Structure 1
Amino acid sequence: MKAIVQDAYGSEGLLSLRDIGVPVPGDDEVLVEMRAAGVGPEVWHTMTGKPYVARIALGLRRPKNPVRGWDGAGRVEAVGAKVTGFEPGDEVFGNCEGSFAEYARAKADRIVLKPADLTFEQAAALPVSGMTALQALSGTSRPRPGQRVLVIGASGGVGTYAVQLATMYGAEVTGVCGPAGADLVRSLGATHVIDYTREDITDSPHRFDIIVDNAGLRPLPVLRRALTPRGTLVIVGGEGGSGFLGGMSRGLRAVLLSPFTAQNLRNLVSLTRREDLLTLKDLTEKARITPVVDRTYPLAEAPMAIRHLRQGHPLGKLVVTI
């Protein structure tokens, strides 16, 4: 099969399209014939091995799994001996590690049936970004009707879902994005839009009950000034920064500070959960949320997709088609 492979950590220039063997599913796994795969920050992190702390799980010197891609959608080709609930031909989406390939293995509890009305490209845009937004706006950070929610990075993969979810929960949503994303963010339900090239989040006359920060660049004191005295900040991922922890250091500082302030400061590391995939499936089938796909790239151009992710400020999600 053809796959996007890398032998060492580094830039997208180290990625190559190669012919490799088809993976064999374990007893609790499903072999998926991939049709589309999502392109998000998680792909960049596994490609570069940054922040360095991530290499404890990814592989210390080189990637344990040389095939890139983290999530996607496709058709079940074969099922392991202990798998129930799936059969060949089923259309599925979810966590398919090594999804930049014609076939990928997936744990049976990390995929679900694809919503019938979604294309494979739309379904591939849903798992990681959709689950991250869902988990960011859950528990103590789930908005109540009438609360003010600020979504930083509102026009990106996670942000487009966060705006839709917060609006669905009845919040008054303000989105932070560049000028090119303003119309999209308003169309997803945001009442207000802050153009980060011209305004700062602290320029708003309001303070926010919940802030979801997807961008990873603003200092913690700035974010806290935009919060209400008992507001909740959710820092998503580990973008930016340097050193062993990289951008994760900012989230760690927030967690350590949280017990000593009335504000609730959270650092979110999204996890793949079957119940969340089922929730996303239900919400899309009921047209409560809609995946936003900026553009698609053929498998051979996956390195270009990753480059666009880092440099092009995509509106919504980028997708590789197989």
Structure 2
Amino acid sequence: MRGIIQPNPKSKDLILTSLPLPTINPSLGEHLIRVKACAPCAGELLWPNNFPPPTPRELIPCPDVAGTIISGPEDSPFQPGDEVYARTNYNRPSNARDFTIGVTDELAHKPKSLSWIEAAAIPVSAETAWQILFIHAGIAGDGEADFATAQEAWKGKRVLVTAASGGVGMWVVQLATLLGAEVIGTCGAANVTLVQSLGAKEVLDYRRTSLREWAEQPGKKVDVVIDCIGRQSLEDAWWTIRDGGAVLSIFQPPKQVCPEGYKGTGVKDVFFVMEPVRRHLEEITKLVELGKCHGMVDSVWPLEQYQEAFKRLDEGHARGKIIFDLSLNN
């Protein structure tokens, strides 16, 4: 089969090569999947060096996958021919290959209304946003909240989302809006209308708006900052948080860039890495099928154009997810 390999943890130069088909262990819940589409994640070529896998493995990128079950455990809810999608676990090679492995606890049936391309744009971004809002922000208390509890807790809360037009940001905007929060998003001028359409009440052009000056206006402080990009954007966002609020980042520990002179008190800061969870993706699937939220595809590429696709990803201006279409070859 075809597959993209990262030669070593420090390399950002990928190789398209021929690989043997993976072998599954059904006793571990593993399924062999014919890949129809997969998606890379921003910054993922840095992960093997910064966060080495617990056991050495082939460094195959693209954690999001949509495809067809070929084989698996006899008692699995996913049988041969079933259409599935997932964000697969980082402990295993990912999905930029014609065949891959997914386990029961991370798979979900693909939304029937979506194409392979549309489905592959969802899992990692949507599950990350779900875990931010229902677990890590702590708005509904410790532990994981159900939808009704989270909706009651988030109603009326003011939330600032940085990089709101990005893969994760757009899902945070949609889900937070569904939960009744008042969302303020930051993005570039070209994406203001998009972020408004996702439900944001106010959209700030990060190139033109000083968050510190914006937050000094009456009534502008927020209860929660959800940062999707880190660095300067996260540092600036600290000025917007109310005392007793929460700053979350999926990029870096927020206190690493807490600005000099910041005097807020009682602010909770959280950095976390998402974990693929089947029940979360199933809940997201229900919302997608009801038309309450959706993913977005920036561009679609054949596997052979991996260099151009990853260049587009690295530029940081993708509007939605970059997708590899493998459906024509298998």
Compute the TM-score of the two structures, normalised by the length of structure 2. 0.84
Q: How many positions carry a matched residue from both structures?
A: 297
Corresponding residue number in structure 1 for 2:45:
44
- What residue ranges of structure 2 are gaps of 5+ in the alignment? 140-149, 259-263
- In 2: Cα distance, 1:268 partner to 1:9 partner: 22
Amino acid at match of 2:40: V
**Could you tell me whether the CA contact under 8 Å between 1:73 and 1:93 is conserved in 2?**
yes
SS in 2 for 1:137: helix
Deviation, structure 1 residue 312: 4.1
Amino acid at match of 2:207: T
Corresponding residue number in structure 1 for 2:72:
79
**Could you tell me whether the CA contact under 8 Å between 1:236 and 1:268 is conserved in 2?**
yes
- In 2: Cα distance, 1:77 partner to 1:108 partner: 14
Of the structure 1 ranges 143-152 and 101-110, higher mean CA displacement relative to structure 2 is found in 143-152
- In 1: Cα distance, 2:234 partner to 2:77 partner: 45
**Residues 152-196 of structure 1: per-residue CA shift (max 9 Å, x gap):** 010100001011011111111111011121111111111111111
1:8 aligns with 2:8: yes
Matches within 5 A, 1:1-322: 1-12=1-12, 14-27=13-26, 28-41=29-42, 43-46=44-47, 49-51=48-50, 54-55=51-52, 57=54, 59=56, 64-80=57-73, 83-96=75-88, 97-139=93-135, 140-141=138-139, 144-204=154-214, 205=217, 206-218=220-232, 222-238=236-252, 248=253, 250=254, 261-322=265-326
Amino acid at match of 2:7: D
Deviation, structure 1 residue 44: 2.7
Q: Which has the higher contact order (CA 8 A, sep 6+)?
A: 1
Deviation, structure 1 residue 8: 1.5
Question: Cα RMSD (Å) of the superposition?
Answer: 2.1
Amino acid at match of 2:54: A
- In 1: Cα distance, 2:45 partner to 2:162 partner: 20
- What residue ranges of structure 1 are gaps of 5+ in the alignment? 239-247, 255-259
Compute the TM-score of the two structures, normalised by the length of structure 1. 0.86
Deviation, structure 1 residue 7: 2.0
Amino acid at match of 2:268: N
Deviation, structure 1 residue 122: 1.4
Deviation, structure 1 residue 37: 0.8
Deviation, structure 1 residue 221: 5.8
- In 1: Cα distance, 2:255 partner to 2:283 partner: 27
**Runs in 1 of length 4+ with deviation above 6 angstroms?**
none
Amino acid at match of 2:172: A
**Could you tell me whether the CA contact under 8 Å between 2:9 and 2:46 is conserved in 1?**
no
Amino acid at match of 1:225: W
Note closer, same or farther for the CA distance 1:253–1:217 as it changes in structure 2 (3 Å cut): closer
SS in 2 for 1:185: helix
SS in 1 for 2:54: helix
**Could you tell me whether the CA contact under 8 Å between 1:252 and 1:267 is conserved in 2?**
no
